[in-house]
Structure 1
Amino acid sequence: MKSFSRVASAAALALGLALAAAPASAQQKDAPPAATPLKPASPAALAAAKDILTMKNAAAMYANAVPNLVAQTKNGLIQNNLNYQKDLDEVAVIVAKQLAGREKEVGDAMAQIYANEFTEQELKDLVTFYKSPLGAKLLATEPRAIQFSMSYMNQWGQQFAATVDSAFRAEMKKRGKPI
């Protein structure tokens, strides 16, 4: 059972990280806890939010959530139940079929979150913007810009780590403790 809890926790963390990696506006310092109930949104606000998420291809972030979680759970259970590997492989197929489509819950929740963060009019304005030439360009180029930004940050971090390491070594040398 411990193994299942660890796998479920790891899967939830992986899903959370995947969702957090999506392009989003700056987060507020006092973000509400995840358990905070969302206020009901109008059907028009939810429709606009879903339209925005469709244009941003948000479904790609969670499209494989069910099969991935089924596989992770199966693999975790196999670690402690090697003699059941054949059965667990067969059960994984059954469970995956039973739970297929449940990833749509993530998309519905994301739409509800957008509808809580933006007014209905703001959502409609965003839809209009994303359908404009500039909005379409943003949708098309933002993933690449983010990819290049992340690459730059990784490269900068590696180079800066060498600077920090040199500074540590210099200070330790001043103390007569070369490292």
Structure 2
Amino acid sequence: MKRFSGLLSAVALSAGLAFAAAPAMAQQPPAPPSVKQSTPAAIGYAKEILTMKNVQVMYAGAVPGIIEKTKTGLLQQYLNYQKDLDEVAVIVAKAYAGREKEIGDGMAQIYAAEFTEQELKDLVTFYKTPLGQKLLTSEPKAINDSLQYMQQWAQQFGVQVNAQFKAEMKKRGKDI
């Protein structure tokens, strides 16, 4: 499902890449923030919902992206090691292949903590209905279009605010 990908992949990847510059602090993935324990069934339903929403698309490139970002950062400091860093990037990519699954597992735990097992089961049932399928298909476009509208509105509003600032400053005898 390409639906969630456009909107969320950029957000998730940029957030992930932002942390790439920091040195690795721990060898195991962090636990999702303040997540209560859930039943295996609840986590299973949450994973099914996330699969239906195709959220894995938004973090599929996280591992290669973070590796590339880290390599690029190191290249800025050690330009004379480009060949070695290129070779090491391949080794690191192989060593960490599949780690993006941890993101999906963490997201499922978060969903399972936010909703009851019955609610998750009901959501799975709903998403399998024609309306649920339409929501899965149409909502990402609606969200994307809404975000684009908000950006356009903000740009136009910014022009108006800027003009108002200039007008108020002109009243004070200061042309800006």
Give the TM-score normalised by structure 2.
Answer: 0.82
Paired positions, count: 153
Are residue 50 (structure 1) and residue 51 (structure 2) matched? no
Specify the alignment match of 1:14 in structure 2. 15
Q: CA deviation at 1:12?
A: 8.2
Are residue 71 (structure 1) and residue 68 (structure 2) matched? yes
CA distance in 2, matches of 1:146, 1:58: 15
Q: CA deviation at 1:40?
A: 1.7
Higher relative contact order (CA 8 A, sep 6+): 2
Specify the alignment match of 1:23 in structure 2. none
1:119 maps to which of 116, 119, 124: 116
Specify the alignment match of 2:77 in structure 1. 80
Q: CA deviation at 1:146?
A: 1.2
CA distance in 2, matches of 1:36, 1:150: 27
Q: CA deviation at 1:160?
A: 0.7
Q: How does 1:1-179 map to 2 (within 5 A)?
A: 14-15=15-16, 36-179=33-176
Which deviations, in whole Å up to 9, do the C-alpha atoms of 1:13-51 show, x marking residues without a partner?
Answer: 62289xxxxxxxxxxxxxxxx874422211110000000
* Structure 2 gaps, min length 5: 1-11, 19-30
Which deviations, in whole Å up to 9, do the C-alpha atoms of 1:46-86 show, x marking residues without a partner?
Answer: 00000000001010010011100110111111111111110
Which deviations, in whole Å up to 9, do the C-alpha atoms of 1:107-134 show, x marking residues without a partner?
Answer: 0000000011001011111111111111
CA distance in 1, matches of 2:108, 2:137: 21
| Corresponding letter in the other structure for 2:144 | Q
* Structure 1 gaps, min length 5: 1-10, 18-33
CA distance in 2, matches of 1:158, 1:12: 25
| Corresponding letter in the other structure for 1:72 | K
Q: CA deviation at 1:178?
A: 1.8
Q: What is the SS of the residue equivalent to 1:101? A: coil
C-alpha distance 35-53 of structure 1, shift in aligned 2 (>3 A): closer
